Structure 1
Amino acid sequence: MAVVAAVAMAGCDPQAESDGTATSPSPAASSAAPTGGAATTATSTAANDAATVKACADIQKDIKDNAAKVTNAERIGPPAGHFAVSAQWAAGSVAILEHSTGANQAVAAASEKIQNEMMGLSDAYSKSADAKPSKKALEAAIKELDTACSAA
């Protein structure tokens, strides 16, 4: 309530406006503001491309790292090993999701497919100690990512 009163009172300044201390910006100051022209677009495109290249490198590294960790978890074997495999697929999907932030639309879409496939594998392993789900959809999503990254 006090804040509302303070804001309302701020508009009731008893100072005379003839002293030349107007608070609105001058026309020269207003025209100096950036307009978002070609230079701004070029800068943001370059930043997006750099973010996409970095995302691709990070995601491809995540995929390789996750594959090695899944292989190690699979060595534990059933019945308890399936929980480790499930957990690793889930962890790998989170890493993919994290590193896709800032990537262009094609890379982000491909990485989302990878993330979804990894979560599907995690679910399959958590449901059964003897699970041997197909990884063909994951492999297809990885190829889609490779294509999107090569275009970036």
Structure 2
Amino acid sequence: MNRTRLVLTGLAVAAAIAVSGCDPQPGSEGTASSPSPAASSAAPTSTAASTAASTAASDAATVKACADIKKDIKDNATKIAKAEKIGPPAGHFAVSAQWAAGSVAILAHSMSANEAVTAASEKIQNEMMSLSDAYNKSADAKPSKKALEAAIKELDTACSAA
């Protein structure tokens, strides 16, 4: 069981790394990473201006992370539903693997977010891994998703504050 989980988790990590390399980075936007010529000439030594610019970039990264994480959660739910249709005994491995892959995607997109969003997304990731473990242990598993739902609500709260 542990070897299967290790292999499936490894595949999920590899897939997440490959997919995250395809995501356009904020550097292509230009305005988020470099100040405009007017802003740089108006206050080249102002720490308040640079703090405001870094806060704005941080907030933009958090907003993007929230959108990406929410999309990951929705996509994962769709993929879980497909995997559950396979049915036991083989289907529980597919469901377990999808929970693991979903948790890695959440983790990958939370790296640029603020502390509150990162903490909430880590809770979601942990709950997804718990569900993966439950499905990996039993072909007939029907674990509760209440803790995951609570973690998602916490993420929604953290994202609305960003």
Asked if Structure 1 and Structure 2 have the same fold, meaning a TM-score greater than 0.5 normalized by the shorter chain, the answer is yes
Q: What residue identity is the alignment partner of 1:124?
A: A
Q: Rg bigger for which structure?
A: 1
Q: Which residue of 2 aligns with 1:29?
A: none
1:81 to 2:81 alignment: no
Calculate percent identity across the aligned residue pairs: 85
1:48 to 2:58 alignment: yes
Structure showing the higher helix proportion among its residues: 2
1:26-45 matched pairs, under 5 angstroms? 37-45=47-55
Unaligned regions of 5+ residues in structure 1, if any?
1-33
1:36: Cα distance to partner?
7.3
Q: Runs of 4+ in structure 1 displaced over 6 angstroms?
A: none
* Higher RCO (CA 8 Å, separation ≥ 6 residues): 2
1:109 to 2:119 alignment: yes
Aligned residues: 119
Whole-angstrom distance in 2 between the partners of 1:100 and 1:72: 25
Whole-angstrom distance in 2 between the partners of 1:68 and 1:51: 26
Unaligned regions of 5+ residues in structure 2, if any?
1-43
1:38: Cα distance to partner?
1.0
Q: Which residue of 2 aligns with 1:26?
A: none
Task: Give the structure-1-normalised TM-score.
Answer: 0.76
Q: Which residue of 1 aligns with 2:157?
A: 147
